[in-house]
Structure 1
Amino acid sequence: MNTVLWILAGLLAVAFLASGGMKLARSKEQLAASGMGWTEGFGQGTIRLIGVLEVLAAVGLVLPALTGVAPVLVPLAATGLVLVMVGAIVTHARRGETPMIVVNVVLLVLAAVVAWGRFGPYAFTS
């Protein structure tokens, strides 16, 4: 199970690093043109904040465990992603974007599994 949690954390890190990086690198208009219509309901600062949270969570999913420095940050980062995904689900539900809700639910479940595993039976011990 430890290997599964590492794989899930790695996949989530890649996904959120890419997603957050895109939110940081592109303008609101570019994001909307690339299919992120939800950005129309948010200001540029809020979109950048979401990007920063996603990038920090991506780093927090793997770096603390790899370095052995504050590995408790791994389940905290996963829990943060669960909260980000709850917000994404609400946003997409309000816009009637059902396919995106499915993607968000899958990411939420994966992040919840990592949080459960790293807080619980497969926590990093010192």
Structure 2
Amino acid sequence: MMHEFTLRVYYEDTDLAGIVYYANYLKFIERGRSEWVRARGVDQGRLRTEAGIVFAVRRVEADYLRPAVFDDALVVTTALVELGGARIVLDQAVMRGDQRLFEARVTLVCLGPTGAVRMPAEVRAALS
């Protein structure tokens, strides 16, 4: 199931060439991931406070396909590829209408105070 998060490109998102600065796509997909988790009923703040667990990016494979520019309306899509005991693999894209501007495969790991830990069963069930 695909999740969608909409955003608009602001002047602050662009570089001297007037296009979205490459690192900002990572911020855009971070927002999309956060909203994907929230839409599934997982409160990341509570998870951190009560269980000491957070999600951290372990790997990103990204392709920049077309530039976005000031005032573009964009949609960040997020789709689950794989859900393991301690890791999540997602496919994400930044779209302008039907044009794919950016795509990434993101691997997240579930971390506790001493390193990687298995996700609680209720979190895993919510995300699957």
For the superposition of Structure 1 and Structure 2, which TM-score range results when normalised by the shorter chain? under 0.3
Give the structure with the higher percent strand: 2
Give the structure with the higher percent helix: 1
- TM-score, structure 2 as length reference: 0.27
- TM-score, structure 1 as length reference: 0.28
